[in-house]
Amino acid sequence: MITAILLSGIIQGGFLALMLLRKPSNQIANRILAALILVLMSHLFLICLDVKDLFLAYPHFSRLSWLLPLLYGPLILLLTQSITDPDFRLHCRQWLSLLPFAVYFLILLPYFALPAADKLAYLSDPRLVAQQDFGRMNTLTNYLHVGFVVGALATFYRNLRKRTDHFSNSELIDVHWLKEFLWIVLSVMLFSVVTFYARKYRLAYLESIYPAHFLLVVVLVYWIAFKLLHEKTALTPVPAPPQAHPAHEAEPAIKYAKSSLSDALSDDIAQRITTLMHSEKPYLDNNLTLVELAARLDIPRHQLSQVINTAFGVNFFEFVNQYRLQEFKIQALDPSNQHLSLLGIALECGFNSKATFNQAFKKLEGTTPSDFVRKSRESVLK
């Protein structure tokens, strides 16, 4: 039964990885996720061999299950960075996250180099195998898993603010599925720690659930498939220029303290932004990004972001939606548009969804769109 479930996860993972590798958009994030799924598939295959006691038939596969899991943490962290960080680029320093994998590989290399006969002699001693399987290396692996996922969650929440400074479309900002994924993975990791120690110390009632955490990995694979196939799963970062810019912090004055942008140039850019927003109305494009607006103004993206933050006191998302909101108020009160629904008008004004529109309207106007329109029309009649 367990073997059948594990095999179903392997097959599903293969289809998922193939689908991700064939996606043309955001190839970095898709390839990282595909690599993560391939590692999961390989690990599940090794678990199948273990469950069916096939390591004696294929001894050279033994202890690979000690090594492969060291890739989970780095891949999950890279995946989070590639999706949530608009400035993400692969750098040499990111290879440092593979240091635990490299260290484990060097430690295990003498075992991997052993002839099959020596490995069989080791595998024929169940007591020794169990002692080694639940030894220091795999104990440390559990904590590395938890540490990497906690680091990925910290990265996720830190970069949420960054995304609002680059996107005007809430669907491009919203990576709720990734948050769910990270919390689910953390839960699986913590559960695996509990089952690991239950098996290691032969704890009554808990020892028998040890194989269950491998089944949770299969559930995770199917969950990813559901999200990718049935929901709008955002894997869309902002195209980033070669240079890196300071990380976003709480106060613009602190964030831009070392900026070379003069007050005069900042005022000039602010005036150009205002003129462009009124004359060309780029906010009507519901997928408008900071990069695209900067290109229209022919200025560096980081200068545009700084001016919006300092001169207008808002982030890019709020800045663009303020214009969309004003456009909505004009169009909604136009008698020629009375036959249109409020949502239809909002979508024409650049909003991408009812939820985003209602949230922005309530925040800026303190009332609902329907109440605003009704009261405005009543005041005109009076």
The full DSSP string for 107-153 is HHHHHHTS-HHHHHHHHT-HHHHHHHHTSHHHHHHHHHHHHHHHHHH
Weakest mean pLDDT among 142-146, 246-250, 331-335, 347-351:
246-250
Which residues are paired to 167 by β-bridges?
A: 289
Of residues 377 and 106, the one with the higher pLDDT is 106
Four-residue CA torsion sign, 253, 259, 264, 269: negative
Confidence band of 158 (pLDDT split at 50, 70, 90): confident
Q: CB under 8 Å to 225, separation ≥6 — which residues?
A: 12, 15, 16
Coil/strand/helix, residue 230: helix
Confidence band of 110 (pLDDT split at 50, 70, 90): very high
Mean pLDDT of the chain: 83
Identify which of 9-18, 326-335, 373-382 has the greatest average pLDDT: 326-335
CATH annotation of 2-230:
1.20.1070
Taking the C-alpha atoms of residue 42 and residue 51, their distance in angstroms, rounded to an integer, is 14
From residue 23, how far is each of 17, 29, 325, 367 by CA, in Å?
10, 10, 35, 42
Taking the C-alpha atoms of residue 94 and residue 96, their distance in angstroms, rounded to an integer, is 5
Over residues 259-288, mean pLDDT = 90
311: pLDDT strictly greater than 60: yes
Of residues 184 and 205, the one with the higher pLDDT is 184
- Give the fold, CATH level 3, of 253-381: Arc Repressor Mutant, subunit A (1.10.10)
User: Which pair of structure tokens corresponds to residue 223?
Assistant: 């969950």
Is residue 334 within 8 Å of residue 342, measured between CB atoms? no
Over residues 357-371, mean pLDDT = 87
CA angle 60-33-289, nearest 5°?
160
Provide CATH 1.10.10.60 ranges for the chain.
Answer: 253-381
Its pTM stands at: 0.67
Write down the pLDDT at residue 108: 95
244: pLDDT strictly greater than 60: no
User: Which pair of structure tokens corresponds to residue 301?
Assistant: 């993206």
250: pLDDT strictly greater than 50: no
User: Which pair of structure tokens corresponds to residue 190?
Assistant: 């913590």
Write down the pLDDT at residue 77: 94
313: pLDDT strictly greater than 80: yes
Per-residue pLDDT tens for 5-33? 888 888 888 888 888 888 766 678 888 88
User: Which pair of structure tokens corresponds to residue 285?
Assistant: 């494009």
Provide CATH 1.20.1070 ranges for the chain.
Answer: 2-230
